[in-house]
């Protein structure tokens, strides 16, 4: 009775330890005072003072207060119910969430008598709380990990401060929606700037911001392949999405439908990078993809694109004609826009009037009249092209020929005195001609207007760490090499691994091209409604390399690997 009366002022765990004879009353009081002064917990002070081991203390608490005992060594972070407990409460009360079932939350604690902490977590989470006893020595690392605030996490991920300027910001819209405090949150701003700068420095073409149920990830597409670069706290997904939407002039209140926007990041007085922004509502939040549009890519020059000398000569001859049509074809992401703008940059002279219609304009080029088509407002490709023809044009570029009306306007206007450049989505150059026939464009218009077609792919370029490899002779023959090619005068290389390429073996990309002039014989095949196979056979007789042959030439030159060519081209 005396022990019980004298220890009545102690906390539940301390009192139980005294009553069980595991601690003296003065020891318990001293340890409790130290815990309050150090802003720690009683179990921490007991273990630190070596009065009991962490395991002994946990077993005692579990048996005395009839609470389950759990070993945190078996805890899987991926299955933790994150964002259910405020990080501040985790740190203050040394309590971590373990799992959630229905409206009940199981939490790990070294002191199941910490009723004040359990009640605060119940009130904050809105869930019924079930305490589970854990060892304090294993608990503290998890407390530190889970109690790291979003701001601290973003600061650690952002590193040094970066000061970049965004143009075309729409801060007033954010203020009107009442979310200005969220989107102007300094850690969010700095983190986003760091991500954008890293993407530019690494040569990424796209940035993916992807929310999932239990995690959030950011990926860069570098040299055609996606790789994860960051996994920020899931709690930032809405603030980060709002920030991106504000600087892209999008409606931050609309989260139910996809949106498209643009923004510009100023790196210096002489360099700015454009971004095309696309949002998509997903099951767990808005996924955002940002396409990086570097205007400098259009000024690299035609030699940087990877055309062979004879292909380059054919292309330059075609775009120097006063009238006719030059088409660039290939799948999405094959570099068609860069090829077109490289041509436009060559043609962009003070005495030339150039107009483009795109959806949207991806690269800004001074001296060129660029129009973004907008079907909702009636500014379609066809409407833009009709307007161009009344604007005294010399050269017209259409971002993509999708419909018969656009194709007919282009091929008809290309005959009397205008040079037209455009793209189509076809597998190779011969199929482009039959695609136009299938769209309903008269064969005589196709034959008389089209000068040249370039089909292209982008293959990853081998890094300087490339290694010679041995491949069976039959494999090379099956890939498309001829017997005379395998004369031992060249070396076959495969990817290596180094810091420069981050272990991938590839750094940058190289173009693979099929450049097919429309000769008189090909015109006859078109007029006779010939198939793409007929056109391809004739082009081969005229010395036009198909995509596979052009790719194999890049392999012989040591620019890319055989695997890359096999995966990006077909025969």
Residues 236-253 pLDDT 10s:
889 899 999 999 989 999
Q: Which residues of the chain have pLDDT under 70?
A: 1-9, 148-185, 296-300, 571
The H or E element spanning position 87 is: helix 87-93
Q: Which two tokens stand for residue 95?
A: 């309590």
Contacts 24+ apart (CB under 8 A), 405-413: 406/381, 406/382, 407/436, 407/439, 407/441, 408/441, 408/445, 409/382, 409/385, 410/325, 410/385, 410/449, 411/325, 411/436, 411/441, 411/445, 411/446, 411/449, 411/450, 412/445, 412/449, 413/385, 413/389
pLDDT of residue 454: 95
Dist CA 495 CA 65 (whole Å): 61
Block residue for tokens 């379609």 = 380
191: three-class secondary structure by DSSP: helix
Residue 247's Cβ-count burial label (10 Å; 0-12, 13-18, 19+) is buried
Task: Confirm if 201 and 191 have CB atoms less than 8 A apart.
Answer: no
Task: For strands 395-398 and 419-424, give the pairing.
Answer: parallel
Give the pTM.
0.67
Task: Confirm if 429 and 418 have CB atoms less than 8 A apart.
Answer: no
Dist CA 326 CA 455 (whole Å): 11
Helix axes 54-64, 12-19, angle to 10 degrees: 90
pLDDT of residue 137: 92
Task: For strands 216-222 and 450-462, give the pairing.
Answer: unpaired
173: three-class secondary structure by DSSP: helix
pLDDT of residue 299: 64
């Amino acid at each position: 009775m005396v022990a019980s009366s004298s220890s009545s002022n102690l906390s539940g765990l301390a009192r139980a330890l005294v009553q069980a004879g595991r601690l003296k009353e003065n020891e318990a009081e001293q340890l409790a005072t130290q815990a309050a002064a150090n802003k720690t917990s009683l179990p921490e002070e007991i273990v630190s003072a070596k009065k009991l081991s962490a395991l002994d203390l946990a077993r005692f608490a579990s048996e005395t207060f009839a609470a389950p005992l759990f070993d945190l060594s078996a805890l899987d972070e991926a299955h933790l119910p994150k964002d259910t407990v405020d990080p501040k409460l985790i740190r203050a009360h040394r309590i971590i969430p373990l799992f959630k079932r229905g409206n009940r939350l199981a939490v790990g604690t070294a002191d199941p008598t910490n009723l004040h902490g359990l009640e605060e977590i119940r009130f904050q989470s809105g869930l019924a709380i079930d305490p589970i006893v854990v060892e304090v020595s294993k608990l503290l690392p998890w407390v530190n990990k889970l109690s790291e605030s979003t701001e601290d996490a973003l600061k650690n991920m952002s590193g040094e401060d970066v000061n970049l300027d965004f143009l075309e910001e729409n801060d007033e819209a954010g203020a009107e929606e009442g979310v200005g405090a969220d989107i102007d949150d300094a850690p969010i701003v700095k983190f986003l700037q760091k991500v954008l700068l890293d993407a530019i420095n690494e040569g990424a073409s796209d940035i993916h911001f992807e929310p999932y149920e239990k995690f959030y990830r950011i990926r860069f597409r570098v040299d055609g392949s996606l790789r994860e670069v960051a996994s920020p706290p899931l709690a930032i997904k809405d603030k980060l999405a709002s920030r991106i939407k504000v600087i892209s002039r999008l409606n931050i209140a609309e989260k139910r439908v996809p949106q498209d926007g643009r923004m510009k990041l100023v790196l210096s007085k002489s360099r700015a990078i454009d971004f095309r922004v696309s949002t998509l509502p997903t099951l767990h939040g808005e996924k955002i993809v940002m396409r990086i549009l570097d205007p400098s890519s259009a000024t690299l020059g035609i030699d940087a694109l990877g055309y062979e000398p004879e292909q380059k000569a054919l292309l330059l001859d075609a775009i120097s004609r006063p009238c006719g049509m030059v088409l660039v074809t290939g799948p999405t992401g094959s570099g068609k826009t860069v090829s077109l703008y490289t041509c436009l940059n060559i043609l962009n002279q003070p005495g030339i009037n150039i107009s483009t219609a795109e959806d949207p304009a991806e690269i800004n080029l001074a001296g060129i009249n660029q129009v973004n088509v907008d079907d909702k407002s009636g500014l379609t490709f066809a409407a833009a092209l009709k307007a161009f023809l009344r604007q005294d044009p010399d050269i017209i570029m259409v971002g993509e020929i999708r419909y018969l009306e656009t194709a007919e306007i282009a091929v008809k206007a290309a005959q009397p005195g205008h040079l037209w450049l455009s793209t189509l989505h076809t597998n190779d150059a011969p199929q482009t001609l039959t695609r136009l026939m299938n769209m309903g464009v008269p064969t005589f218009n196709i034959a008389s207007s089209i000068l040249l077609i370039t089909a292209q792919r982008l293959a990853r370029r081998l890094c300087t760490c490339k290694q010679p490899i041995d491949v069976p002779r039959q494999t090379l023959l099956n890939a498309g090499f001829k017997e005379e090619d395998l004369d031992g005068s060249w070396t076959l290389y495969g990817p290596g691994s180094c810091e420069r390429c981050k272990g991938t073996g590839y750094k940058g990309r190289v173009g693979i091209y099929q450049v097919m002039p429309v000769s008189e014989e090909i015109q006859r095949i078109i007029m006779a409604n010939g198939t793409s196979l007929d056109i391809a056979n004739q082009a081969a007789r005229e010395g036009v390399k198909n995509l596979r042959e052009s790719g194999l030439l890049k392999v012989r030159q040591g620019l890319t690997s055989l695997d890359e060519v096999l995966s990006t081209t077909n025969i």
